[in-house]
Chain A
Amino acid sequence: MGCGVTTSSDTGLPPGTILRGKWNGRTYRLERLLGAGSNGQVYLASSGRAACAVKIGNEPAELQAEANALMSLDRRERKRPPFLLDVDDAALQGRDVPFYAMQYVPGASVRSYLRRHGAQWFGVIGYRLLRRLAELHDSGLVFGDLKNDNVLVTDYGRLALVDYGGMTAAGRSVRQFTEIYDRGYWGAGSRTADPAYDWFAAAVLWIHVLDGKRLMSLTRTVLPQNRSPEDLMTLVRTHTALKPMESWFEKAIHGRFADSNEACDVWRACLHRTEDVPAAKIPGWITGLFVFSVALCVSAAAYLLLQL
């Protein structure tokens, strides 16, 4: 943080900048800055005709560690096209900078997706997220730095995880995390990577996305030594959209699922239970039609009566 930051990192490199790989010889044209973090910047880039994302780092070993994580993920999930495309160095402003190229994932963060498309997508997205996490857990990995910015949602609630800097082999200490999503911060457990670490972060993600204001004020007002997972449960119980999912949250926050598949199943079960309630209600437009048709009948009858 803060060290070795040149002016270019603050504003981003100008569009059209060319990166030429020193070892593998591939060329990338930077199109625009997608995001900047503490250890580098991510650009939308083009290589030939194909679009990709390029992450430029400040520190070769640190960037390589991330690339290693992506590599091991690609190796464990052979059925899909690889996410990591290239790892190389390029001369930029007179010095060598490390970078890697990966698949470009279009999409919006969970929160902005829900804002644009409505909160009713929360159930589907939550389910897909848990499925994706379960896949990782099945191959012995924990995502670690799960948060709003790292879950990108595209059409119809399809999603992809991005920024694998926190991905950790189960049993190791979580490599990178965000304070308010961290189980340790809330006094709810250790920072050793296990599936329950991701369940907890997923629970906080939904509180953050749907009830961000109250969550943030909680982090400001409660004294650190008094912070407890029960504070989070209180938010869940007093929020209209979260309340029906209470039993899922209870288990996620206390790490009480048998495995990640159960986390998915309980989510789905809660979801169907909540859908039953509004399903009993008749949608407004049907009611409207009904009222209209009754009125029509009555007026037709009245007309006929008057005719007689």
Chain B
Amino acid sequence: MNQILLITDGCSNVGESPVVAAAQALAEGITVNVAGVVDEGSIGEHGAAEIAEIARAGGGMSRIVSSRQLSQTVQMMTRQTVVGTIRQAVNQELQQLFGIESVAALPPEKRSDVVRVMEDMGETAPLRVALLIDASASMKPKLGAVTEAIRDLSLSLQARAGDSAIAVFHFPGDSDHEPCVVDSGWTDASARIESLFGRLRMRGTTPTGPALMRVVAFFRETCGKINRETERPSLPTKRDDTDGVRSDYVV
């Protein structure tokens, strides 16, 4: 199960459409959720609409919350998405095998058995969550809450019986042709997350679309090798600079 969680506070303004990028993510089997963080004022009609549309295109959900609610929202969206992904897969199986449209069409005793299997899958299936953090200037006061949300999420993922990992990215990158930067490759240890944004430089542009595309590419490059990843889950994935993400940008 692969998920991208985008945390942002406004509209994209550079490069390709984030909605198209999210649709591409979904096409590659990655669900995209979006948390819009707003403390003062509002996110603007345009920003709110974009957030909702990215999530729709990415098959996920979106919420606009204050930084206080961020941890809980991130938890909830991740969990719901896991449940949703499994439900979808199970319903598909039921459709093919028995010609019924969903779990709800089963009588209670049968449903009870199927749900038990679903719960088991939710707890044990491998889960990858890539967090993509908007680090534009306006996000600066919210990064404390973002770090806390990441810490909190990694705590919950660690408790799962199945193999789980988090990767963290922020955008924009340090130069113009760098849509985003890897802060942490796949890891299952929250210790690495603690001082993530220490050396972050805040910049003006918001290339949400290109950054999303970059994370999708990261999934493609690393998740084919989930097995290798699980043997050494705490090793950060460092790669050369052939695809625009330099290992020396790892904070």
What's the Cα separation between A243 and B160 when bound, in Å? 36
Interface majority SS on B: helix, strand, loop or mixed? helix
Q: Is there contact, CB below 8 Å, between A190 and B158? A: yes
Q: Is there contact, CB below 8 Å, between B123 and A173? A: yes
Q: Is there contact, CB below 8 Å, between B112 and A67? A: yes
What's the Cα separation between A23 and B109 when bound, in Å? 10
Q: Is there contact, CB below 8 Å, between B107 and A23? A: yes
Could you tell me how many residues of chain B have their Cβ less than 8 Å away from some Cβ of chain A?
Answer: 32
A-B contacts counted at CB < 8 A amount to: 77
Residue of B61, B114, B156 touching A191 (CB-CB under 8 A): B156
CB contacts (< 8 Å) of A193 on chain B: these are 159
Interface residue A16 (Cβ < 8 Å from any Cβ of B): no
Binds B, one of A27-35, A56-64, A122-130, A283-291: A56-64
Q: Is there contact, CB below 8 Å, between B144 and A223? A: yes
Residue of A179, A184, A224 touching B72 (CB-CB under 8 A): A179
CB contacts (< 8 Å) of B114 on chain A: these are 61
Q: Is there contact, CB below 8 Å, between B148 and A190? A: no
Of the candidates B108, B111, B114, the one having the most CB atoms from chain A within 10 angstroms of its own CB is B108
**With A60-B104, A61-B103, A224-B144 as given contacts, are A190 and B112 in contact (CB-CB < 8 Å)?**
no
Distance in angstroms from A129 CB to nearest chain B CB is: 24
What's the Cα separation between A222 and B144 when bound, in Å? 13
CB contacts (< 8 Å) of A71 on chain B: these are 112
Within 8 A of B (CB), among A24-67: 24, 60-62, 64-65, 67
What's the Cα separation between A179 and B158 when bound, in Å? 17
Q: Is there contact, CB below 8 Å, between A224 and B112? A: no
Interface residue B76 (Cβ < 8 Å from any Cβ of A): yes
> Chain A, 157-190, contact with B by CB distance < 8 Å: what is the 0/1 string?
0000000000000011110000100001100001
Interface residue A96 (Cβ < 8 Å from any Cβ of B): yes
Q: Is there contact, CB below 8 Å, between A87 and B152? A: no
Residue of A64, A191, A224, A225 touching B111 (CB-CB under 8 A): A64
Q: Is there contact, CB below 8 Å, between A88 and B108? A: yes
Distance in angstroms from A149 CB to nearest chain B CB is: 17
Of the candidates B87, B116, B159, B194, the one having the most CB atoms from chain A within 10 angstroms of its own CB is B159
Interface residue B93 (Cβ < 8 Å from any Cβ of A): no
CB contacts (< 8 Å) of A225 on chain B: these are 144, 147-148, 151, 194
Residue of A62, A64, A192 touching B108 (CB-CB under 8 A): A64
Q: Is there contact, CB below 8 Å, between B152 and A185? A: yes
Q: Is there contact, CB below 8 Å, between A191 and B115? A: no
Q: Is there contact, CB below 8 Å, between B155 and A184? A: yes
> Chain A, 1-12, contact with B by CB distance < 8 Å: what is the 0/1 string?
101000000000
Nearest residue, chain A, Cβ from B161: A172
Residue of B108, B118, B123, B194 touching A87 (CB-CB under 8 A): B108
CB contacts (< 8 Å) of B160 on chain A: these are 173
Interface residue A198 (Cβ < 8 Å from any Cβ of B): no
Interface residue A154 (Cβ < 8 Å from any Cβ of B): no
Interface residue B39 (Cβ < 8 Å from any Cβ of A): no
Within 8 A of A (CB), among B137-152: 144-145, 147-148, 151-152
Nearest residue, chain B, Cβ from A89: B104
CB contacts (< 8 Å) of B112 on chain A: these are 64, 67-68, 71, 87
**With A173-B160, A185-B152, A224-B144 as given contacts, are A96 and B104 in contact (CB-CB < 8 Å)?**
yes
CB contacts (< 8 Å) of A255 on chain B: these are none
CB contacts (< 8 Å) of B155 on chain A: these are 184, 190-191
Q: Which 7 A-B pairs have the closest CB atoms?
A: A173-B159, A191-B159, A60-B104, A224-B148, A64-B115, A87-B108, A192-B159
- 30 example contacts (A-B, Cβ-Cβ < 8 A) are as follows A1-B76, A23-B108, A60-B103, A60-B111, A61-B103, A61-B104, A61-B111, A61-B115, A61-B118, A62-B83, A64-B108, A64-B115, A65-B119, A68-B112, A68-B116, A71-B112, A173-B123, A173-B161, A174-B159, A179-B71, A179-B72, A185-B152, A190-B159, A191-B156, A191-B158, A192-B158, A223-B144, A225-B144, A225-B147, A225-B194
Task: Name B residues whose Cβ lies closer than 8 Å to a Cβ of A.
Answer: 61, 71-72, 76, 83, 87, 102-104, 107-108, 111-112, 114-116, 118-119, 123, 144-145, 147-148, 151-152, 155-156, 158-161, 194
* Known A173-B123, A179-B71, A190-B158; 12 more pairs at CB < 8 Å: A1-B76, A23-B107, A61-B111, A61-B115, A65-B119, A173-B159, A173-B160, A174-B159, A184-B155, A184-B156, A185-B152, A191-B156
